[in-house]
A and B are shown apart, each in its own frame.
Chain A
Amino acid sequence: MKPVPPSQPEIGILPVREASIVEVGKAEGGIACNKHSAAGSVSQRACVFCGSRVVLYPIADALHLVHGPIGCAAYTWDIRGALSSGPQIHRNSFSTDLQELDVIYGGEKKLYHALVELIEMYKPNAAFVYSTCIVGVIGDDVNAVCKRVAAEKGIPVLPVNSEGFKGTKKDGYRAACEAVYKLVGTGSTDDIPPHSINILGDFNLAGETWIIKEYYKRIGVNVVSCITGDARVEDIRHAHGAHLNLVQCSGSMAHLAKMMERDYQIPIKRVSYFGIEDMSAALYETAKFFSDDPTIMERAQELVREEVATIYPQLRAYREKLQGKKAAIYVGGAFKAFSLVRALKMLGMTTAVVGSQTGGPEDYKQLQEMCDPGTIIVDDTNPLELAKFCLEKDVDLLIGGVKERPIAYKMGIGFCDHNHERKEPLAGFIGMANFAREVYSSVASPVWQFAPRRAAKLKAAAAQLNGGKA
């Protein structure tokens, strides 16, 4: 029998988690990241399968078949705000729905029949087969089944090695890149005009890809494919004909970009479409790359001028209301966190807490450099830590996804959904205006006055004021 553990402070940090948290200005050196989540820590991360599924999901004319018991497919049915301008096959949830006997005798037969029937029913242009945890354990030869069905049905059938336990969400991104890369290079590049790019790592959430594509069109740059926002199998086949890969959401798409650089010598630029500064930089960087045509830069400058002039008055109005408010950010990728820190600054707000699920050492170094002293930076945090820091820093807003939302609300803190379920476009210039409105409509809502924590503060402040007068 062990001794009774000493009592902890109200919300303690697990020792195993301590190295993954730093305070800007206080800590020397880096932050522990790129690690498997600690057992029992209630990580906000998902799994390898989740990483693959979110990246490939927006390919709208493909069949996405989840090979495993029902849960993995059921929880990912039509939950993403990734829009398609045409086919909607991706919004279905297909599963081999493995049962006990399949687990005992193997699921290959079931997979084969399910694939063949679904391809006949839905006529997709490709099929992705996601392996879930137990497929990795029962030893189904998914590759062989995919090969056979591809030969019989005449479409690419691509296995995604996404067994949930084989790493973190990041490994799922990698598996997705490997799968989709099998399509790249299978189409002709004859008709691809000069000044052509691929948009990597935008998922057309709430139509964001359409906004970005429109900007590129206006400055005279041709988009060969977006991987994977509003994507079609055919576009991806030609992707190797582009002259430049613009990578947003680097965590998910860097691997694909690197493979294309290695095999097709396509240079890479890392960009972000969130916030005025980063959106403008993305356009200017692209224009600089195509410096053989100076009119591209001229048009980019013109576009930025026009768009900023349109939204600036709105932003100024929001800034007046939001000045001095404090925010916490917890998002999937670190690059988005950079953009959000900058975007909040533009709204007069400060970032008190910032973290990501999948950031790397370089990302965190940059965050440490760009944030004010006292800012807490965390990798792979959990509800208890997040709550602790939000309370300690007394933030007015938390930016995150659906799992973070109730944490904020329960503590009387505003919330902005910047995750893949969002229904408001937050990218591009118009996206910045939407973001400002989203932030404002939560922070400025009158409901917080009734939240107990805020109500107590208001009461204390009022008492002090009255006391002062008396």
Chain B
Amino acid sequence: MKVISAKDLELDEPQFKHCTGTRNACKLCTPLGACLAFRGVEGAIPFLHGSQGCSTYIRRYLISHFREPIDIASSNFSEDSAVFGGASNFKAGVANVVRQYKPKMVAVATTCLSETIGEDMTRLFHDYMKEEWFEGHPHMVKVSTPSYSGTHIDGFHAAVRALVATLAVPGDRTRRVNLFSGMVSAADLRYLKEVLEDHKVPYTLLPDYSESMDGETWSEYEKLQSGGTPIADIMASGCAQTSIEFGRTLSEYPSAGKFLSERFNVPNRQLGLPIGIRETDAFFEALAEVSGEPTPVKHTRERGRLVDSLIDGHKYVFEKRAIVYGEEDLVVGIASFLSEIGVVPVLCASGGKSGRLKRSLHDAIPTLDDRTHIHDGIDFAQIGEMADTLRADFIIGSSKGYQLSRKLDVPLIRIGFPIHDRIGGHRVLHLGYRGAQSLYDTIVNALMDVKQTNSPIGYSYL
């Protein structure tokens, strides 16, 4: 067994190469996020205004994680459309989709191509409706998602905002609570619905792809999988008593919650993604306040069992070192949880660049010290270069970190998106006490497995 001396513990400052290009991006493009958010609306079909490839690549990528069909239509630009504009393709495309799918909504996102040639989407919508509108025509929503600006998470939030901006209507204040969850897993969405229902409060959860992207095997063919936020619920979001939106990095972002607060005076509460104990406590406190119901016993018990288990396992994880990567808000939530259990997040990295990652981490984790390196706008090659001196015990993030975990010979705890080298990536639960429990068990067991595997003794109990 290797004896570690004090000298071994001295670490070089981690370095990475500055490169003009991006090497193995730790981000995806804007329209992907918009397509996923749109598929979380009941009866909506995402429609990309651009080349055929965007739709096909994004479908393929989402399928690899969710293992569910996702149909994304495309206006399918040709050379002529790029020169003369995509108006005729747009019109024909939407008409075809309406005819074929009979959707309740056609949700249009732009691409880098249509944005660069300067398509005037408002005019395209106007012209389309003038000629093609009929009684009972599906709703039409549009969002601007040029892939040269922001990442998939920006596309996601922009799409959610576009949905409420298009559909929400004013009216008498109701008890309704709007919950804008951000890009979380299907299991997370199911959990959030359960929590809201347990608080006996009417709600609009947007988006909700818990069924449409994690559904049952069909008895009959479903052109668009069932499930999703009902359009009526989105309309009603303008009369809600309050909005809750997850994401500490959203503080200056033109979010859905902000739109409703500015337009319809629906108060907006921004919370961190409820990952780990403190961030989840904040969520449950907010819910107790808005629902007037104390936290249901079922959930206080879950919290209790979680705390009990953290104590049982604390020695296995204390001062272990983790590299955390992914979307900025996910990184903040995971790092916050790791800090609660004694793990040091030695690197918090994201391909996103909201400019608020560092601030958000410090806000969520008051005890954060200089052992934690924080980098936004970074790619996997750079994370790998930094990892050389970080002496991580495990890494936590999407499947895209697998090559790094293999190089470092440390476990990869798969969370977030995409998880396409395991089954059930969309069923990973991150949120709430229940999500923390499941993450905790996974992390501790992975570390126990390393200990057991590396032991020359071969202990059968630990």
Interface residues of A (CB under 8 A from B): 1-5, 8, 10-12, 14, 16, 36-50, 65, 68-78, 92-100, 102-103, 110, 113-115, 117-118, 121, 132-134, 136-138, 164-168, 383-384, 387-388, 391, 402-403, 405-407, 409-412, 450-453, 456
B21 / chain A contacts, CB cutoff of 8 Å: 65, 94-97, 110, 113-115, 117-118
Nearest CB on A from B43, distance (A): 15
Interface residues of B in 345-362 (CB under 8 A from A): none
Quick one: CB contact mask for B211-232 with A, threshold 8 Å, 1 for yes?
A: 0000111111111000000000
Docked-complex contact A11 and B223, CB < 8 angstroms: yes
The residues of A that contact B60 with a CB separation of less than 8 Å are 75, 402-403
Residues of A contacting B58 in the complex (Cβ-Cβ under 8 angstroms): 71, 75
* A95→B351 CA distance, assembly (Å): 13
Q: From A410, which residue of chain B is reached at the shortest CB distance?
A: B218
Q: Is the CB of A69 within 8 A of B74?
A: no
**Is B23 interfacial (CB-CB < 8 Å)?**
yes
* Bound-complex Cα distance A168 to B51 (A): 10
Query: What CA separation (Å) do A92 and B24 show in the bound complex?
Result: 6
Task: Using known A-B contacts A4-B136, A39-B89, A167-B79, determine if residue A411 contacts B218 with beta carbons closer than 8 Å.
Answer: yes
- Complex CA–CA separation, A73 to B148 (angstroms): 13
Contact A97 B56 (CB under 8 A): no
Q: State the CA gap A258–B232 with chains docked (Å).
A: 59
Contact of A40 among B24, B75, B79, B148 (CB under 8 A): B75
Cα of A132 to Cα of B59 in the assembled complex, Å: 18
- The 8 A-B pairs with the shortest beta carbon distances in the complex, nearest first, are A47-B53, A71-B29, A40-B93, A114-B21, A40-B96, A39-B93, A452-B219, A164-B51
The CA-CA distance from A37 to B55 in the complex, in Å, is 12
Chain B residues with CB under 8 A of A136: 82
In the complex, are the beta carbons of B79 and A133 less than 8 A apart? no
CB distance from B47 to the nearest CB of A (A): 7
Q: How far is the CA of A115 from the CA of B17 in the complex (A)?
A: 15
**Interface check B100, CB cutoff 8 A:** yes
Contact assessment for A77 and B24 in the assembled complex, using a CB-CB cutoff below 8 Å: yes
Question: In the docked arrangement, what's the CA distance between A76 and B400, Å?
Answer: 12
Q: A402-B64, A453-B218 are in contact. Are A69 and B135 (CB under 8 A)?
A: no
Whether B54 lies near A38 (C-beta < 8 A) is no
**A46 near B92: Cβ-Cβ < 8 Å:** no
Partner of B133 from A1, A48, A402 at Cβ < 8 Å? A1
Report Cα–Cα, A383/B21, bound state, in Å.
36
Instruction: Answer yes or no: B432 CB below 8 A from chain A CBs.
Output: no
Complex CA gap A14/B76 in Å reads 16
Whether B28 contacts A71 by the Cβ 8 Å rule is yes
Which chain A residue shows the least CB distance to B56? A46
Assess the B78–A165 pair: CB atoms within 8 A.
Answer: yes
Contacting pair A134 B113 (CB below 8 A): yes
- In the complex, whether B275 has a CB less than 8 A from a CB of chain A is no
Q: For the complex, is B50 an interface residue (Cβ under 8 Å from A)?
A: yes
A100 contacts B20, C-beta separation under 8 Å: no
Partner of A165, one of B72, B113, B403: B113
Chain A CB within 8 A of B149 CB? yes
Chain A residue nearest to B220 (CB atoms) is: A453
B438 at interface by CB-CB < 8 Å = no
In the complex, the chain B residue whose C-beta lies closest to that of A137 is: B116
- Whether B81 sits at the interface, judged by CB under 8 Å, is yes
Q: How far is the CA of A403 from the CA of B73 in the complex (A)?
A: 14
Q: B78 touching A36 by the CB < 8 A rule?
A: yes
Cross-chain contact A75 with B61 (CB below 8 angstroms):
yes
B195 CB–A CB distance under 8 Å: no
Q: What are 18 A-B contacts with C-beta separation under 8 Å?
A: A4-B135, A38-B96, A40-B92, A42-B71, A68-B112, A70-B22, A70-B27, A76-B57, A93-B23, A117-B19, A118-B23, A167-B79, A384-B223, A406-B63, A406-B69, A410-B68, A410-B222, A452-B217
Chain B residue numbers with a CB within 8 Å of A96 are 20-22
Residues on the B chain within 8 Å of A110, using CB:
20-21
Q: Which chain B residues lie closer than 8 Å to A97 at the CB level?
A: 21-22, 25
Q: A164–B53 Cα gap in the complex (Å)? A: 7
Given the complex, which residues of A lie within 8 Å of B81, measured CB to CB? 165
Among A40, A114, A407, A453, the residue within 8 A (CB) of B20 is A114
Complexed CA–CA distance, A114 and B146 (Å): 22
Query: Do B57 and A406 touch (CB < 8 A)?
Result: no
Q: Given that A3-B134, A46-B57, A71-B54 are known contacts, is A453 also in contact with B219, CB under 8 Å in the complex?
A: yes
CB within 8 Å of A: which B130-154 residues: 131-136, 146-149, 151
Question: Assuming A42-B73, A133-B82, A452-B219, what are 17 further A-B pairs, CB within 8 angstroms?
Answer: A4-B136, A40-B74, A49-B53, A68-B112, A69-B148, A70-B28, A76-B57, A77-B24, A96-B20, A133-B111, A134-B112, A136-B82, A138-B116, A164-B52, A384-B71, A406-B68, A412-B218
| CB contact list, B211-255 vs A, under 8 A | 215-223
The chain B residue sitting closest to A112, CB to CB, is B20
Partner of B99, one of A12, A39, A134, A406: A12
> For residues 61 through 104 of chain B, which have their beta carbon under 8 Å from a beta carbon of chain A?
61, 63-64, 67-69, 71-79, 81-82, 89-90, 92-97, 99-102
- B residues within 8 A CB of A405? 63, 67
Shortest distance in angstroms between A325's beta carbon and chain B's nearest beta carbon? 20
Cα of A48 to Cα of B77 in the assembled complex, Å: 11
The residue of chain B having its C-beta at the shortest distance from the C-beta of A166 within the complex is B79
Query: B162: CB under 8 A from chain A?
Result: no
With a cutoff of 8 Å between Cβ atoms, the chain B residues found around residue A115 in the complex are 21
Asked if B31 is at the interface (CB within 8 A of a chain A CB), the reply is yes
* Interface flag for B271 (CB, 8 Å): no
Q: Does B32 contact A (CB under 8 A)?
A: yes
Q: Select the residue from B97, B112, B135, B381 with max chain A CB neighbours within 10 A.
A: B112
**Is residue B423 contacting chain A, with contact meaning CB distance below 8 A?**
no
B147 with A70: CB separation less than 8 A = yes
Inside 8 A of B146's CB, which chain A residues have their CB? 69, 100, 103
B117 lies within 8 A of chain A by Cβ: yes
Question: Chain B contacts of A45 at CB under 8 A?
Answer: 52, 56
Point out the residues of chain A lying under 8 angstroms from B67, CB to CB.
405-406, 409
Q: Is there contact, CB below 8 Å, between B25 and A36?
A: no
Across the interface, name the chain B residue whose C-beta is closest to A116.
B20
Identity of the chain A residue whose Cβ is nearest the Cβ of B70 in the assembled complex? A406
Take A2-B134, A46-B52 as given contacts and tell me if A94 and B23 are in contact as well, using a CB distance cutoff of 8 Å: yes
How long is the Cα–Cα vector from A166 to B53 in the complex, in angstroms? 11
Chain A positions within 8 Å of B59 at CB level? 403
- Kindly state the separation between the CA atoms of A262 and B149 in the bound complex, as whole angstroms: 45
A14–B100 alpha-carbon span in the complex (Å): 7
B134 near A69 (CB under 8 angstroms)?
A: no
On whether the beta carbons of A5 and B149 are closer than 8 Å, the reply is: no
Q: Which residue of A49, A98, A383 contacts B148 across the interface (Cβ within 8 Å)? A: A98
A residues less than 8 Å from B30 (CB atoms):
71
Closest to B72 in A: A42
Complex Cα distance, B57 from A167, in Å, reads 16
Name the distance in Å between B352's Cβ and chain A's nearest Cβ.
11
* Nearest-CB residue, chain B, relative to A3: B134
Cα A136 to Cα B53 in complex, Å, equals: 15
Instruction: Quote the shortest CB–CB distance from B266 to chain A (angstroms).
Output: 31
Which of A10, A42, A73 has the most chain B CB atoms inside 10 A of its CB? A42
CB–CB B56/A10 < 8 A = no
Q: A391 vs B221: C-alpha distance in the bound complex, in angstroms? A: 9
Report chain A residues within 8 Å CB of B134: 1-5
Q: Is the CB of B53 within 8 A of A72?
A: yes
